[in-house]
Amino acid sequence: MPAQLIDGLALSKKLRLQIAQQAQALSEQGLRPGLAVVLVGEDPASQVYVRNKIKACEEAGIHSVLQKLPAQTSQQELLEHIAALNADASIHGILVQLPLPKHLDADAVIEAIAPEKDVDGFHIASAGALMTGLPGGFWPCTPHGCLQMLDAIGCELRGKHAVVVGRSNIVGKPMAMMLLARSATVTICHSATADLGAITRQADVLVAAVGKEKLITREMVKPGAVVIDVGMNRNAQGKLCGDVDFEQVQQVASWITPVPGGVGPMTITMLLANTIESAQRAAGKK
């Protein structure tokens, strides 16, 4: 029997309705949640993602501000924009769309965001909170969306072997920490891992977040595994595809996320959720 699909669009739709209700409740108390999105330059994919974030805010009743800055913006100018947003009480979440143009220092820019407004969850304070389990901070949206998808299908993580392929600060590492916090036994694989397939074949839950088309083949997946595909690649025909050979792997997995329509939409949904969370904290409700 082929795997069942974990539909990120359907789950997003359901969660965004709840988020809209929370936004309305806050607005009725005079605290409309607000998100600032900073886009530097003209990267076409970033423009689409930013547009989708603003649209999602509008639909959820979250106030949004889009700051489009020219590609040649200096580090100092960008830091000044962030300082102004840090000081703006109508803004509860700030994100700087990545990637930034090469002359800018993305790490320094992220660290300039006030930690209490770091709704992307990329600030070192958010990473520290996730690592230690201490309160505060925000969980990065993409891995948090993956966890929501696992919860939505009732996947018990305690005692399971979860294998994360990819070790980025944005997806792989925080994903591993979230799975660990749920008492899964977690293995992180990366480009220097010897015999990747020998490890992925042990996975009850397999998360692929590398950015390599068809890296995960049918032989690398244990029958009945849950497979989450975070990859977003363009194949030779220009079609969007993940890191998993979907056609093949769906024949052995129990559940699988599609690309598109899987993890991607959940990233934006969790951004909205973090913005609500930030506004609730500002209102002293959390």
Ligand X SMILES: Nc1nc2c(c(=O)[nH]1)N[C@@H](CN(C=O)c1ccc(C(=O)N[C@@H](CCC(=O)O)C(=O)O)cc1)CN2
The footprint of ligand X (CB under 6 A) covers 49, 95-98, 120, 141-142, 232, 240, 259-261, 264-265, 267-268
Binds 84, which of ligand X, Mg ion, none (CB < 5 to 8 A, cut-off by type)? Answer: none
Among candidate residues 22, 97, 148, 250, the one labeled active-site is 97
Residues 6+ apart with CB under 8 A from 61: 20, 23, 24, 27, 32
- What are the residues facing 5 on neighbouring strands? 256
Q: Order of strands across the sheet with 4-5? A: 4-5, 255-256, 226-229, 205-208, 161-165, 185-189
Q: Active site includes 53?
A: yes
- Quote the least distance from Cβ 16 to Mg ion, whole Å: 16
Residues 6+ apart with CB under 8 A from 152: 6, 11
Q: Active site includes 195?
A: no
Q: Is 128 annotated as a binding residue?
A: no
In the shown chain, the binding pattern of residues 246 to 265 toward Mg ion, with x for contact by CB under 5 A and - for none, equals -------------xx-xxx-
8 A C-beta contact, residue 269 and residue 10: no
- Quote the least distance from Cβ 24 to ligand X, whole Å: 24
Residues 201-230 binding Mg ion (CB under 5 A) are none
8 A C-beta contact, residue 59 and residue 83: no
Binds 267, which of Mg ion, ligand X, none (CB < 5 to 8 A, cut-off by type)? Answer: ligand X
Question: By C-beta, is 97 or 126 nearer to ligand X?
Answer: 97
Question: By C-beta, is 25 or 240 nearer to Mg ion?
Answer: 240
Q: Is 167 annotated as a binding residue?
A: yes
8 A C-beta contact, residue 223 and residue 241: no
8 A C-beta contact, residue 39 and residue 50: yes
Among candidate residues 117, 118, 120, 250, the one labeled active-site is 120
- Quote the least distance from Cβ 84 to ligand X, whole Å: 18
**Sign (positive/negative) of CA torsion 222, 2, 164, 182?**
negative
Q: Is 254 annotated as a binding residue?
A: no
Q: Annotated active-site positions, please?
A: 53, 97, 120
